[in-house]
Homo-oligomer: A and B are copies of this chain.
């Protein structure tokens, strides 16, 4: 089955996705190859080409998978309810878990390599970031009306600032191999959002 799309994805397709994702998070899209993934899974490159015809299609599937997982994580934070500050904390923890494994967010890594990506991947990337931004805007608006979060200007601009700070902090943490730096940066950011006592 799984003719050429990996929709109701076979376990092999799922393993390919997981491994490719991991490699790209560490080495980037240009730095990853079918050979890497095939070797780690102990299959041949041809097997990968069966499930995903080319690197570009695999890349698109990876962004889609990542987006779905992220959406689910955000929905789960929403379902837990609670004040905006708690949801923001949960949002930050999603990033802390990734950097704890010395990886970048998949989409941040791809964003850096944007100018080398095929068109379909570029479009998917932009949609991903837009979705994140909208969710965060909602949290910020909620926090402002609750009084748990403080910020001046449009919620959109503060949402962008939070996303930027998180992704940038991960970039620095990767280079320094230093989780403490990431935590200090984020703590400092949250302190700003909570406002003066």
Contact = CB atoms under 8 A, between A and B. Distances in A.
A158 interface: yes
A113 interface: yes
A169 interface: yes
A99 to B, nearest CB: 12
Give the oligomeric copy count. Answer: 2
Interface string A109-120: 101111110000
A46 interface: no
B172 A160 contact: yes
Contacts of A157: 184-185, 187-188
Contacts of A30: 27-28, 30-31
Nearest to A113: B28
Contacts of A167: 164, 167-168, 171-172
Interface of A: 26-28, 30-31, 102, 104, 108-109, 111-116, 122, 125-126, 129, 151-154, 156-158, 160-161, 163-169, 171-172, 174-176, 181, 184-185, 187-189, 191-192, 196
